[in-house]
């Protein structure tokens, strides 16, 4: 959350998805959760529960709170259940998640949606058109010529910083499309967590997400470089 000093602490979130049994750890972000950075990082959780603190913060800052969702949407879904008016209280929600065609943990689903499909479905159908950054856009943004020349690789995925950049500077988004999106929760393991976009408006539902399709890569790189420069 942006601009809320007292919420800069880390609060305990949900231990498991809303309905489905939790999936075993797969070391997606390394054994330490930080990409095996081998840093001695110790964080003491603050007193309180993440979903409750989010609901309380939104009530005290009607229309002035921006939330950036970088993981599964379980805590935001719980906050919506605690306070049904939460969607209207937020200034903005930016979601890093989903995939347009190809998943990254199953053939059809991206990690955050796959882990808690019910939470993703609930949030997308309650929040007023949040910007949605699919996995593919974050991968595209960092495959710059500079990275290829200097490292000889195809770059590195900076998905979370990209979501923060879009929240801080929406103007870096060069192309997006508002569309109705729902999440598959009743399918087989092949399709559970899949983001389904109604591109042809066949369902007759109003758009509920703003799918980010292109960003200003140079502007994003400049923001990232500035934030990492002492």
> pLDDT, tens digit, for every residue of 67-118?
999 999 999 999 999 999 999 999 999 999 888 878 888 899 998 999 999 9
39 within a domain of the structure (yes/no): no
**Distance separating alpha carbons of residues 90 and 67, to the nearest angstrom:** 8
Tokens of 49: 């529960």
32 within a domain of the structure (yes/no): no
**104 Cα distance to chain centroid:** 14
Torsion angle in degrees (nearest 10) through CA of 159, 97, 99, 163: -40
Alpha helices in the chain (DSSP H): 50-60, 74-82, 86-89, 111-115, 117-124, 135-141, 145-151, 159-168, 217-228
DSSP secondary structure letters along 91-156 = SEEEEE---SS--SSSSS--HHHHHTHHHHHHHHTTSSS-EEE-HHHHHHHT--HHHHHHHSS---
Q: pTM here?
A: 0.86
38 within a domain of the structure (yes/no): no
**Distance separating alpha carbons of residues 228 and 230, to the nearest angstrom:** 6
- Does 184 have pLDDT greater than 90? yes
pLDDT digits (tens, 9 = 90+) for 112-128: 999 999 999 999 999 98
Torsion angle in degrees (nearest 10) through CA of 107, 113, 117, 123: -150
- Does 1 have pLDDT greater than 80? no
36 within a domain of the structure (yes/no): no
Give the bridge partners for 194, in sequence order.
Answer: none
Task: Please choose, from the candidates 204, 205, 208, the residue with its C-alpha nearest in 3D space to the C-alpha of residue 177.
Answer: 208
pLDDT digits (tens, 9 = 90+) for 161-170: 889 999 999 9
pLDDT-based confidence at 44, cuts 50/70/90? confident
Q: Kindly give the pairing relationship between strand 195-197 and strand 181-183.
A: antiparallel
**Distance separating alpha carbons of residues 59 and 199, to the nearest angstrom:** 35
The CATH number linked to 78 is 3.90.245.10
Task: Work out the average pLDDT over 10-35.
Answer: 80
40 within a domain of the structure (yes/no): no
Domain membership of residue 49 as a residue range? 5-27+45-228
Domain count, the chain: 1
């Amino acid at each position: 959350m942006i601009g809320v000093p007292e919420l800069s602490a880390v609060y305990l979130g949900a231990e498991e998805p809303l309905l489905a049994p939790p999936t075993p750890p797969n070391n997606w972000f390394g054994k330490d959760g930080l990409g095996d950075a081998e840093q001695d990082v110790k964080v003491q959780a603050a007193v309180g529960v993440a979903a409750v603190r989010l609901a309380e913060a939104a009530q005290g800052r009607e229309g002035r709170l921006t939330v950036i969702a970088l993981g599964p949407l379980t805590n935001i879904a719980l906050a919506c259940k605690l306070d049904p008016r939460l969607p209207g209280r937020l200034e903005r929600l930016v979601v890093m998640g989903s995939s347009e065609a190809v998943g990254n943990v199953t053939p059809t689903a991206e990690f955050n949606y796959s882990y808690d499909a019910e939470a993703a479905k609930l949030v997308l159908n309650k929040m007023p058109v949040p910007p949605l950054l699919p996995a593919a856009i974050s991968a595209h943004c960092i495959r710059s010529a500079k990275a290829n020349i200097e490292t000889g690789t195809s770059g590195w995925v900076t998905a979370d910083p990209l979501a923060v950049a879009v929240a801080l500077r929406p103007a870096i988004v060069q192309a997006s499309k508002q569309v109705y999106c729902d999440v598959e929760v009743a399918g087989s393991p092949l399709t559970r967590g899949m983001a389904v976009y109604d591109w042809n408006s066949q369902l007759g539902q109003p758009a509920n997400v703003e799918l980010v399709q292109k960003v200003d890569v140079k502007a994003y790189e400049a923001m990232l470089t500035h934030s990492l420069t002492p």
